[in-house]
Amino acid sequence: MAIVDLPALYRAYTACLNAQAWDALARFVAADVVHNGRTLGFAGYRNLIRGNYRDIQDLRFDVALVTADPPHLAARLRFDCTPKASFLGLPVNGKRVQFFEHAFYRFEGGRIAEVWSVIDKAAIESQL
Amino acid sequence: MAIVDLPALYRAYTACLNAQAWDALARFVAADVVHNGRTLGFAGYRNLIRGNYRDIQDLRFDVALVTADPPHLAARLRFDCTPKASFLGLPVNGKRVQFFEHAFYRFEGGRIAEVWSVIDKAAIESQL
């Protein structure tokens, strides 16, 4: 495997998400990507994240901390946003909330092949 | 700083927790440790985890994935346990539940100086 700067690659991936540059996303995500144990595939994964941006119009991935240990990378992501309706089953309904997501990624051939993600739902609940 | 094998150190730390070897814990945790933004200090941190073992008698830290990028380490922790009463505000009441915690650690001088932790509360809810 070629030497890849995973943190730089990861920041380019989040920049791609924040730009909602859906046509460029395949550069970063494998065709058979697995998310929390489910094989979503590229189209399913893109739809998942597009749906997040549709439901949360001011959504922005903000990388608070990233640790790389190839082929894995872990990211602490900060969110400060306004979900329109319900989010994670919670009645957020346009309230601005701050919370973190902790996600692990496995890269393969320079693309994200697997994601394990946990969102701090308790933090959101405490703000409602 | 001396070269430290953070994954080995981290596994020794979780073994210490699982052995409930509270007297040995100071080897792994800094005196002024910070947990999710709060300065608990060593005694406060030990009390927090002792309380978890008291409330969940079959508690066991199982390291599913660990990534090290000194001075940081991230761990995906698997739990399969039976909280006696309520846990994270949920009425678990002796039901066996499986869930993950994603935690980031910053080490300083070979000890855990800061922890950022997110527990998958939604996964527990879905099992009740």
B6 touches chain A (CB under 8 A): no
CB contact under 8 Å between A122 and B89, yes or no, is yes
Please name which of B7, B2, B33, B16 lies closest in space to residue B112, comparing C-alpha atoms. Answer: B33
In the 8-state DSSP scheme, what is residue A12? H
In this predicted model, what pLDDT tens digit does every residue of A2-43 receive, in sequence order? 567 999 999 999 999 999 999 999 999 999 999 999 999 999
CA distance A6 to A12: 10
Q: What are phi and psi of B3, to 5 degrees?
A: -70, 125
Cα dihedral A35, B88, B125, B93 sign: positive
What mean pLDDT do residues A47-53 have?
96
Q: What is the pLDDT of residue B4?
A: 79
Query: Is a pLDDT exceeding 90 seen at residue B119?
Result: yes
Kindly list the residues from chain B whose CB atom is less than 8 angstroms away from the CB atom of residue A68.
67, 69
Whether pLDDT at A83 is above 60: yes
Going from the C-alpha of A35 to that of each of A101, B90, B98, the distances in angstroms are 14, 26, 18
Percent of chain A topping pLDDT 90: 97
User: Tokens 């946003």 map to which residue?
Assistant: A81
Confidence of residue B3 (pLDDT cuts 50, 70, 90): low
Residue B67 forms contact with A (CB below 8 Å): yes
Q: How many CB atoms sit inside 10 A of residue A123's CB?
A: 16
d(Cα B114, Cα B117) in Å, to the nearest integer?
A: 10
Block residue for tokens 């846990």: B87
Decide: B105 and B73 in contact? Cβ < 8 Å.
yes
Q: Is the pLDDT confidence value at A120 over 90?
A: yes
The pTM of the full predicted model, rounded to 2 decimals, is: 0.95
CB neighbourhood size of A126 (10 A): 11
What value does the CA radius of gyration of chain A take, rounded to a whole number of Å?
Answer: 15
